[in-house]
A and B are shown apart, each in its own frame.
Chain A
Amino acid sequence: MKRSLKKTMIAAASAIAAITAAGGAVAFCGFYVAKADTKLFNKASKVAIMRDGERTVITMSNDYQGKLKEFALVVPVPVVLEEGQIHVTDNAIIDHLDAYTSPRLVEYFDEDPCEQRVYEMAAKAAPSAAGAAMDRRRGDDAFGVTVEAEYTVGEYDIQILSAKESGGLAGWLKQNGYKLPDGAESTLGSYIKQGTKFFVAKINLEEQAKTGLHYLRPLQIAFESPKFMLPIRLGTVNADGKQELFVFALTRNGRVETTNYRTVKLPTGMNVPTYVKDEFGDFYKSMFAEQVQRESENAVFLEYAWDMNWCDPCAADPMSSDELRELGVYWTDGGDSIKPMPRRPIPSGGSQDVFVTRLHVSYDAAHFPEDLMFKTTGERENFQGRYVLRHPYKGDAKCEAATEYRAGLPKRYEQEAQTLATLTGWDIDDIRVKMKEDGQSFPPPKKDKWWENLWGKSNKSNSRG
């Protein structure tokens, strides 16, 4: 039965539901099972990168909570950007991409063991939660630094700087009120020697007021560069603890991975106790932290890799062509969004031709001394972080198979408990207690008396062997 469960997949829409099930069974429904708090991770950034050849579009999203006046961003960029290469977009798009790619919880319901069928049911995922606490520095006026260009784009005042030496740049930034942490100077120096320019953004309060928004919208930059990387070093300089980074890479070819750090797949496909449904957010967070430790804190985690024409099960609707185009996918036609067929596998080569990779990094200077260097591979194998709830059959069932089924449940529960403990590092006894409260108790409901096995039983057969 386990086999057939595994093989069958479900698709669930937020509104509609279309489902395939094994063994000719009819399946049904689709609803939200778990929704993790979007504020799961503090000090997190979400960055979408479109990469095709040397063409690059980076979308930087942040959940900056402080005073707008004090917001400042310093991003090393490979070239001086023209005004048209800078853009401000909407949070909703990144949030959608986040939801579409987030680890998901899937729910299965065991059938009446007396009838050899299996129903299944889909579920919904936990959006990651992130937003940037990027480099917060603020500025004022010139020093020994060339301001290559100045623009106001949306609510941002942007300057592109180039500098000859780090002392000058650091001085300029300090003079301009940027709080440069100790150690930033040498990092700046390294970037300068590599010919890097600096993209500096502050909030234009007047323009910001016009937007009527209480949050900052994601900044986007488009450029061409042979370097496929994401600068994280400046962010680690003022490190008070680790920072979380979600990278959503959009390519034509396939999965993106890091070349200077190991890219590790998040554990997936495990059966976990049903109570996890109510604490999926905690589960995901603990599991991630545990995996980070297990990989010596220096691995990049793959959470999702998928052809964007479909998903199964879907944590959110696939992105429309318009949304993808906004994120830099210039080869989709945009215009009328060809709503992709979401719920079922479409052979590759579909209409979008976009492959998404979601990477999750928890980084600090000690474990990630170098910027993240990426590489697009031809790998098109789909991968998703997916966790399975199996609800036991609770109805009346009186047959030999049912007895066997029930006898097998405690073992299954124990396995689920151990899986959960291993994944998250949670205390196994706590897990057992919670499982019991949720109706997944361990001791077999009714234990056979030992002598019953000696001479057989009068009214009940036991086929355990």
Chain B
Amino acid sequence: MTQDVAVDISLGWWRKMVEIRLFEEKVQELFMQGLVQGTTHLCQGQEAVCVGAIGAMAPEDYLTITYRGHGHALARGMAMEPAFAELMGRSTGCCGGVGGSMHLTDFSRGLIGAFAIVGAGLPVAVGAAMSAKLRGTDSVALTFFGDGGANIGTFHEALNMAAVWKAPVVFIIENNLYGEFTPVRDSTPIDDLADRAVGYGIPGRIVDGQDIGAMHSETLAAIERARAGDGPTLIEAKTYRFRGHSKSDPAKYRPEGELERWKERDPISLLGDKLAAAGHLSPDDQKAIWAETQMEVDRAAEQAASAPYPALEEIEDYVYAS
């Protein structure tokens, strides 16, 4: 799949996935130090889904993401420092420190919402897509959510409305096999969530979420379809999170060997190996990039930590627009 895109694009994806992986490693560390508090939801293991899909977006497109959104924000071009600062509740954070880990938002990049309520991002994305259409632009919207989100009412309602109105939107299920602690099989009576597209008369596509090339090309096709006025697509990315649901979850509910099997399909290794085999990125080059990125991560976290907490007067203006 990756041979379809230019080598430098693949290299960019690989670097970005490494950045996200190390960013989230750092988040764990900062959490232990008490610099990040509350909760965090890591996407380690799922990096190809957000990097591949978001790589297919145009600059003026919109996206909504979820509480598991560090990877998406970075993939959309948010710098690490404002992301770290947000997680640390600092005034230099992308949301001035009031949002935190679950609400990484950046309107300048079309990242119009990060939701801590399962399913809440879908209607908003359909609204942004309809707005783009009504304003006569050709922007589309992407909305990411988990397998758990495919069981809440807004999933069904939003797919229905988007289909009826031919909204230029792409729905992306990140099926990582668990809705919090519960296996998909215990909460959902079908194996392929993409099958639900049939009920709304739209295409449903299944993608290997560990294969970034596949993720990219499938999303690109859905975006092109939406942009052409042919309406929404539902994409189910089959993926896996290497960590538990959130900070406090050691994921002991996983059957033995499952994590190890999925780690063999680590999206970073899969793409790295391909690039190495094609002579574009040697193992030594990869090592150097890991080290270089680690330094960038450390520097960004350090800078973020040196920023002040917001003052109460500062955040009062956030409640009402004047």
B is bound to A: no
The residues of B with any CB-CB pair to A shorter than 8 Å are none
